[in-house]
Structure 1
């Protein structure tokens, strides 16, 4: 008689353990990101997630309850809740209600991820499909709702690691996949070891045979090849003559000024920092730059409409004597505004501009303003909506062609890529993180910017109102950076680089492909589950016909069908169903129920 393998039943009252484990794994993912930067925790957290959602799924099956995917989805949700409320905790500067809302919405994306990862665990090469599903989760979270929220992607935890250079081959989605794959392979090895431990008491070839050393070595090899590939990826862009560039951090006042006074104070700070830098150049203490970059919101008073603001900017730019990229808020009509980067010439004044394209919902505009302001008074704190631009950030400042993005845009693949396609030699990020003070947000954004340097094969100049400003080389290393809430100037000899990395050439194609394959694997696993249930139904039908003794053959056929399913990714077909249906039926429905129960347990 063939032996049916049965998964262990969870002990009574222990069904909550996978959910607690999943929550702990979500909390474990947070330190992988800046400013802590324990990047190696990211694959471990993914492994914990994989094991716990699978345990929740199988625990539901072993108790013969329907909808096991629901248990896995809940486990995924708890993971997301723990992760999102830690990685996004800086949002509570705006308000605790904002953090609660954002954390809850973002955590919901991990529920279908949990169900999907558990479902495909029945397929061959499950670790591969599970890693693809992480890309699918990020694909949707980065785009919906309201343009998505790209923070917290696995790739953004891998800014200076053996895997980092992979981003130049397929962008952040490929790096997220590689990070997830290391984690899912680790989970697969843990499962092999646990299965071996259960089999050691049976006659067999010993520990090595129980583990299945060939399969284990294959999984380990798959995990090791990723960092090897990462370290072999060269910088794919072409270096040009170095130029001296500077980014000004004027700082912001931390006094109780009204909004209008605050705007003038910030503008004055940046003008003074620029003029002081010009004095150091004149004294021979600093090199003369060919271009200077001011941060986002360095001029919150429309210089086109306000003569005083215009004069302050002009005097500062004339003192340094080179074109300066000024971050300014410009009025659009009476009730709207634009966030601009303005190329300001010391002789002719304002020239070419770039308008921020990816706006921050509830920060730079209020969706459904008329409806929401009726119920939430906080919406009135954003008195007017900003208008988005529609042209990629390609400008020439001081003779240097640059690709530019503003603040929030640096986290979005398409924003960076579309600007870099203009072949600017330096990526410039203008940002204003003063609102988030000493939270993790500035460090997290700086880490994302490091990754963009590697992805695009370009040096990056970061200009922030209050920090962190800096210079990042094309390999992603921070060469210079400022402290927060200080007035400073980052000056550096920067090597512009042109050309396109493979990631920039391919664009979103790898992400779409990985997302599609992941969803297809989930659909295949779901269909296989339905075929398995048809086999169980066939057993039940045979049991209700009241025929002969169940005999020895039925468990063998059942075991054969289930073995094919477990080994081939749920390969039951019509022939199997017909074969099972033609068996002599057991004399009692209880015998049939036992066989059906065993079949379900044998194929989680």
Structure 2
């Protein structure tokens, strides 16, 4: 006689879940949110670039071995944890609606990355494929919709970081890949250490993958150090950046446009007096910020006279940021080269105008959710020509404000001969938020990426002058009238990043595609051979 004893299933339907089991359900979602928040904390104004490494390590722990649907959901949570605090400035003057809508859309790209990372996480050498997937998602986010929104690329949080020299090797994609790879590699190393403690052995392949995931980016950054060079190849230029400030914060600063123009003209005349008295060196050229004259000097003689008088006082070519208002057609966000003898001699129209800021896509639909769209009563149009001005013999490349976030917009100026880059900006709309520091970090990364001095004249702060090695040599305070005057090195050689253009990003995208294809093929084989 025998008896079969059936053990009690503690997890059966009649067993109430314990508090501990309930809590465990929230561990991975909480870890996903935390990984995104750590990534946010790695961005300026905090000098905590290294937090990106534990952020990716935690993301790797959260996503490894998960099903695709779970990977998508956890990735979305990570995206919210990252982008909600990073982009809070977008609602500074228009309310929470646009900020939440933008974050909800942009987090979808992080969700897609989470799905892809989950898919490749069971592959050998998975940290390399996972880092490639992250860069693939960043590349997509930088291009769609409405021309893309690359704000928050991992590379832009690394202006103070160890890996920054890699920007000169392959631009923001290679820099971001190195950071993600090292973070995923740290998690894989942790996994292998735990496995060794449990079993006493570690297979050579996984051990090599963990080690190389850390050693490759670290060694690459060290090898790239010679590319970070701030020596003067073509002599130097003394440049002045004018920050005139605005009378009042908020969207209505444009209603004070004459006061803004007068502020910048007054600071320039003050600089001229300081030069005459020997308190400041004579600049070779002067840079005003974007929107320093929202009164069209071509249509308004009074505005033209104010600008002309200021430029004549300083006696050197000056770049004016103006809103040009043709009788018909779209507005132009224009930079004007103003010569002290000949007046306006050259123009550059911003090529990548900002959706929902400078023009309103789907205006009637968006109006349902936020009436602030009608503050932009007339859309801006995009220019088509690369902006490089010859200012007293110096070739100066121009990337207006939002354009600094786009790889192509800055690189084009260098391939067209720029020896120095200017990023004139207007941050008055965003108050005292972190936005201006995030944008300044982009310019520091661009300086190293292309080995060029970068000058950032801003209406209200923070204006800065940056050397080719990414070091800030002078900067203003926020919402404080000021003028920066510095001698900077001029360079004409091109870094590998400049010469290669989009090729490194394409290769990393191919790596991601190969990993996703391999993972898909393995999944198909597993379905066809159950139990294998």
Query: Is the TM-score greater than 0.5?
Result: yes
The answer to whether the Cα contact below 8 Å between 1:426 and 1:459 also exists between their aligned partners in 2 is: yes
Q: CA deviation at 1:207?
A: 6.7
Give the Cα–Cα distance (whole angstroms) in 1 for the partners of residues 356 and 267 of structure 2: 32
The answer to whether the Cα contact below 8 Å between 1:53 and 1:117 also exists between their aligned partners in 2 is: yes
Determine the structure 2 residue equivalent to 1:153.
Answer: 153
Matches within 5 A, 1:287-366: 287-334=281-328, 336-366=330-360
Give the Cα–Cα distance (whole angstroms) in 2 for the partners of residues 73 and 261 of structure 1: 45
CA 1:374–1:188: 2 relative to 1, 3 Å:
closer
Question: Equivalent residue of 2:389, what SS?
Answer: strand
The answer to whether the Cα contact below 8 Å between 1:246 and 1:293 also exists between their aligned partners in 2 is: yes
Give the Cα–Cα distance (whole angstroms) in 1 for the partners of residues 90 and 470 of structure 2: 27
Gap regions ≥5 residues in structure 1:
1-8, 58-67, 200-205, 537-595, 600-604
Give the Cα–Cα distance (whole angstroms) in 2 for the partners of residues 401 and 77 of structure 1: 44
Determine the structure 2 residue equivalent to 1:37.
Answer: 47
CA 1:303–1:147: 2 relative to 1, 3 Å:
same
CA 1:495–1:280: 2 relative to 1, 3 Å:
same
1:18 aligns with 2:18: no
Matches within 5 A, 1:53-452: 53-54=63-64, 57=66, 68-93=67-92, 94-199=94-199, 206=200, 217-235=211-229, 239-254=233-248, 261-334=255-328, 336-373=330-367, 376-452=370-446
Larger Rg over CA atoms: 1
CA 1:414–1:224: 2 relative to 1, 3 Å:
closer
Q: CA deviation at 1:381?
A: 1.5
Give the Cα–Cα distance (whole angstroms) in 1 for the partners of residues 118 and 97 of structure 2: 32
Q: CA deviation at 1:233?
A: 3.3
Give the Cα–Cα distance (whole angstroms) in 1 for the partners of residues 249 and 75 of structure 2: 44
Give the Cα–Cα distance (whole angstroms) in 2 for the partners of residues 212 and 263 of structure 1: 62
Give the Cα–Cα distance (whole angstroms) in 2 for the partners of residues 224 and 318 of structure 1: 51
Question: Equivalent residue of 2:325, what SS?
Answer: strand
The answer to whether the Cα contact below 8 Å between 1:237 and 1:499 also exists between their aligned partners in 2 is: no
Give the Cα–Cα distance (whole angstroms) in 1 for the partners of residues 175 and 522 of structure 2: 30
Give the Cα–Cα distance (whole angstroms) in 1 for the partners of residues 510 and 210 of structure 2: 28
Q: CA deviation at 1:243?
A: 2.0
Give the Cα–Cα distance (whole angstroms) in 2 for the partners of residues 415 and 248 of structure 1: 23
The answer to whether the Cα contact below 8 Å between 1:248 and 1:273 also exists between their aligned partners in 2 is: yes
- Is the deviation greater in 297-306 or in 362-371? 362-371
Give the Cα–Cα distance (whole angstroms) in 1 for the partners of residues 368 and 214 of structure 2: 57
The answer to whether the Cα contact below 8 Å between 2:236 and 2:488 also exists between their aligned partners in 1 is: yes
Q: CA deviation at 1:54?
A: 1.7
Q: CA deviation at 1:377?
A: 2.3
Give the Cα–Cα distance (whole angstroms) in 2 for the partners of residues 231 and 258 of structure 1: 45
Q: CA deviation at 1:31?
A: 1.2
RMSD over aligned Cα atoms: 2.3
Q: CA deviation at 1:234?
A: 4.2
Question: Equivalent residue of 2:344, what SS?
Answer: strand
Give the Cα–Cα distance (whole angstroms) in 2 for the partners of residues 292 and 236 of structure 1: 22
The answer to whether the Cα contact below 8 Å between 2:230 and 2:469 also exists between their aligned partners in 1 is: no
CA 1:281–1:369: 2 relative to 1, 3 Å:
same
Select the residue among 45, 52, 57 that pairs with 1:47: 57
TM-score, structure 2 length as denominator? 0.92
Q: CA deviation at 1:217?
A: 4.5
Question: Equivalent residue of 2:64, what SS?
Answer: helix
CA 1:321–1:135: 2 relative to 1, 3 Å:
same
Give the Cα–Cα distance (whole angstroms) in 2 for the partners of residues 215 and 527 of structure 1: 21
1:518 aligns with 2:517: no
The answer to whether the Cα contact below 8 Å between 2:250 and 2:430 also exists between their aligned partners in 1 is: no
Q: CA deviation at 1:208?
A: 7.5
Q: CA deviation at 1:232?
A: 4.2
Give the Cα–Cα distance (whole angstroms) in 2 for the partners of residues 322 and 41 of structure 1: 45
Question: Equivalent residue of 1:511, what SS?
Answer: helix
Determine the structure 2 residue equivalent to 1:473.
Answer: 467
Question: Equivalent residue of 2:423, what SS?
Answer: strand
The C-alpha deviation readout for 1:233-289, integer Å capped at 9, x for no partner, is 343986112121111111110279976650000000000000011011111111111
Question: Equivalent residue of 1:329, what SS?
Answer: strand
The answer to whether the Cα contact below 8 Å between 2:421 and 2:455 also exists between their aligned partners in 1 is: yes
The C-alpha deviation readout for 1:567-589, integer Å capped at 9, x for no partner, is xxxxxxxxxxxxxxxxxxxxxxx
